[in-house]
Amino acid sequence: MSSSVSILENNFDGTANDAEEITKNLRKKAKIYDFLEQCESFEEFKRKIKEKLYDNVSWNFHSTIRLSDKDKHVFSCKYNKAGCKKTIYLEIKSNQISGDVHISDNLNTNHPEEQEEESSSVPILVKQKIIEYRKMGQKKRNIKKIF
């Protein structure tokens, strides 16, 4: 009869060193919102947004979040796609017209330089002339011929 001996050569202490590191998915930091003011209506809030009365920034509508006791109308900075995290929202409680305006404490970042912005837009004097011609009854195609 033949006898055989098997030897287990697996070192259990070495498995901890050979294991791959597990990467943790980190969550984003939560935005902190500060109360800014009370608005009489959503229309007034939109008017103030359009007139750049909040931080002198252009805002784009992001979403409306409907909850059981309130609605949140959220606007984000115009440069959101460039990486700016600044947001503002109007919170209107159920059965009310007026609401509270809250703005995030993030800084306005990743905005292009003002010089680039000025060169890409229509100059203010040209806009004023266009408005004058429109008030006089000129049509858009006639105004385009002038400029």
- At residue 66, the 3 state secondary structure works out as strand
Q: What is the mean pLDDT of residues 96-113?
A: 87
Question: How far is Cα 138 from Cα 123, in angstroms, rounded to an integer?
Answer: 20
- pLDDT band, very low/low/confident/very high, at 115 (cuts 50, 70, 90): very low
Residue 117 pLDDT exceeds 70: no
Question: How far is Cα 103 from Cα 82, in angstroms, rounded to an integer?
Answer: 19
Instruction: Quote the percentage of the chain above a pLDDT of 70.
Output: 80
Residue 86 has φ and ψ, to the nearest 5°, of -70, 130
Exposure string over 41-67, b if 16+ CB within 10 A, otherwise e: ebeebbebbeeeebeebebeeeeeeee
Each residue's pLDDT tens digit, 5-52: 656 565 555 555 666 777 788 887 888 999 999 999 999 999 999 988
Which domains are assigned to the chain? 31-104 (2.20.25), 121-147 (no CATH)
Pair of tokens at residue 53: 């009365």
Reference 103, options 31, 30, 27, 28; nearest CA is 31
pTM: 0.59
- pLDDT band, very low/low/confident/very high, at 3 (cuts 50, 70, 90): low
Residue 16 has a pLDDT of 58
